[in-house]
Chains A and B, each alone.
Chain A
């Protein structure tokens, strides 16, 4: 499903080069639940941006579903993100003053799908992500953190993506809500979704079945969990 070969990413700031990723290679198979763990500055966010087609590597190759993403142009990347990748962000990134339903439907605009179908699909995804029905018409900023993250998960799922990418999804949540959100990721995994999770907390990583540790832009450890 995901195949990274010798990925490097170099940021240039004036004359100073920062090597955020240094020759990183790994693969993720369909249906896996992988946690990428590392301290801040380890390069895990850079890796996740490349996997999420939000950024392109300086060197190396990245294949998603058999297609070489590292060679794609902007519009192809947009289409890939829409069709193959579902994002869950640390800060939720919901549209403010906008209903839950419309937030979930956001990736479907310009898809040619009728409004009825979109809403039906969005409702189904919200139920799937475990949000109470009475909140569907609420504005996103009236929800609690846990509820917002469920909306974000429903949004990530709406296009039936090949992988779900979660960037510190529990970073803004308390411990109890974190566990609930992680449980829902585990459930998604059981239903057959491929999940890549980025975190710096060991406890969060233990919910995954495979843990890749990154430090200074290199893979330090890659092991099955438990």
Chain B
């Protein structure tokens, strides 16, 4: 019996190859497009998130505020030189719940090495920068406390800066670079972080902060102070403590007149989350519409064959085949079509996602929930619209079904 049923299903589907393959095609395209869309979307989201993570975790950045000389005219945020190494020491020693503190003196300089020449960000900092900003070393070592104390003229290159100055993947350790006409020894190369844009950390050159102050900026101010809080929970209290401490140190009583700004990574994440949220909504809508269109396609395919199939059902009933077998056959046909289409669609969607990664250089993440959702929606639509009209036809009397126009 089961074997007969199976054979009827296969014969019926194989007997009408055009109808079967068009139905399968509809399902394949619906499912594959949803899976591809969602994996591209999730990949993009993951890229944005990892870019934000690459800044460093639980990071608070203290920046100089606008310089005000008792008047309404502001010279712009960050323009003032109000933070010093003493502030850094005070934060390090007096604030609880922090992991590390790294001051920075950064500015763009022209750098030359062996006739190559580039213009990039030179960051004067301390060894704790490594922890605060999640920097990892590829070659050599990062700056040491000893070098910071002694204003040693050493430099650590970001991989892009290294590529520009010494050629791709060269080992520059032991070579000299010339920053603003001062020679620095290269002692290390950092690992690529994959950030991008104007402030690409891979393009930085790191030198001891004291060396940057003595030989490059010529004063004792710092451009900003990066503070890594112990954990996410202590961010708010640390931020408050730093504000209080600096207000006190700078003799400012009115917090609105503060000559510094605090920015934390949570703010950045919040912004980014709202961006990726919009992104997710956009992609979900695209996926939803593809699913809807695919579903309607499947529905149409299934419904347009009803007339012809109703007469077939009438004939089957007239020659004495029981209703249950007719129902089972049509259910089976719908299941076989949707599962074949579904399987192919998942496979194709998977390939397309991998293809987008390899050929379009998009970061894609294949999402199991998208596969399950796309598959179950199209299988549901296919089975309902394949089976329901057939069931209705099988409930008609054989004469009515035979005469169906």
On A, residues with C-beta under 8 Å from B are: 49, 52, 54-55, 74-75, 78-83, 85, 87, 89, 93, 95-98, 102, 106-107, 109-110, 112, 155, 159
Contacts and interface: CB of A to CB of B under 8 A. Distances in A.
A107 B320 contact: yes
B316 interface: yes
Contacts of A74: 323
Contacts of B308: 96
Given A93-B402, A102-B11, A112-B1, A78 B321 contact: yes
Nearest to B319: A107
A75 B317 CA distance: 10
Interface string B268-312: 000000000000000000000000000000000000000010011
Contacts of A112: 1
28 contacts: A52-B318, A55-B397, A78-B320, A79-B322, A81-B317, A81-B319, A82-B320, A83-B320, A85-B320, A87-B318, A87-B319, A95-B15, A96-B308, A97-B15, A97-B16, A98-B11, A106-B319, A106-B321, A107-B319, A107-B320, A109-B7, A109-B8, A110-B1, A110-B4, A110-B5, A110-B321, A155-B319, A159-B320
Nearest to B19: A97
A158 to B, nearest CB: 9
Given A97-B15, A98-B15, A109-B4, A54 B399 contact: yes
Contacts of A155: 319
Contact of B397 (A54, A97, A107): A54
Q: Give the 5 A-B residue pairs with the shortest CB-CB distance, closest first.
A: A82-B320, A81-B320, A107-B319, A97-B15, A78-B322
Contacts of A85: 320
Contacts of A54: 318, 397-399
Given A49-B399, A54-B397, A93-B311, A109 B321 contact: yes
Given A49-B399, A74-B323, A98-B11, 10 more contacts: A52-B318, A55-B397, A79-B320, A82-B319, A95-B312, A96-B308, A109-B7, A110-B4, A110-B321, A155-B319
A106 B320 CA distance: 10
B325 interface: yes
B322 A93 contact: no
A89 B402 contact: yes
Contacts of B16: 97
A81 to B, nearest CB: 4
Nearest to A80: B320
Contact of B321 (A55, A82, A89, A97): A82
Contacts of A98: 11, 15
A174 to B, nearest CB: 23
Contacts of A89: 402
Contacts of B113: none
A96 B15 CA distance: 9
B258 interface: no
Interface in B144-197: none
A176 to B, nearest CB: 27
A102 B7 CA distance: 11
Nearest to B329: A109
Contacts of B11: 98, 102
Contacts of B314: 93
A85 B319 CA distance: 8
Interface string B104-147: 00000000000000000000000000000000000000000000
Nearest to B395: A74
Contacts of B398: 54
B315 interface: yes
Nearest to A81: B320
B160 to A, nearest CB: 65
A95 B323 contact: no
A98 B316 CA distance: 14
A81 B318 contact: yes
Contacts of B317: 78, 81
Contacts of A75: 322-323
Nearest to B17: A97
A78 B399 contact: no
Nearest to A89: B402
A78 B402 CA distance: 15
Contacts of A97: 15-16
Given A110-B325, A112-B1, A93 B318 contact: yes
A126 B319 CA distance: 17
Given A55-B397, A78-B317, A89-B402, A110 B312 contact: no
Contacts of A52: 318
Contacts of A95: 15, 312, 315
Contacts of B312: 95
Given A97-B15, A98-B11, A106 B402 contact: no
Contacts of B8: 109
B309 to A, nearest CB: 11
Contacts of B4: 109-110
A98 B308 CA distance: 14
A201 B269 CA distance: 87
Contacts of A109: 4, 7-8, 321, 325
A96 to B, nearest CB: 8
Contacts of B7: 109
A154 B328 CA distance: 27
Nearest to A118: B4
Contacts of B5: 110
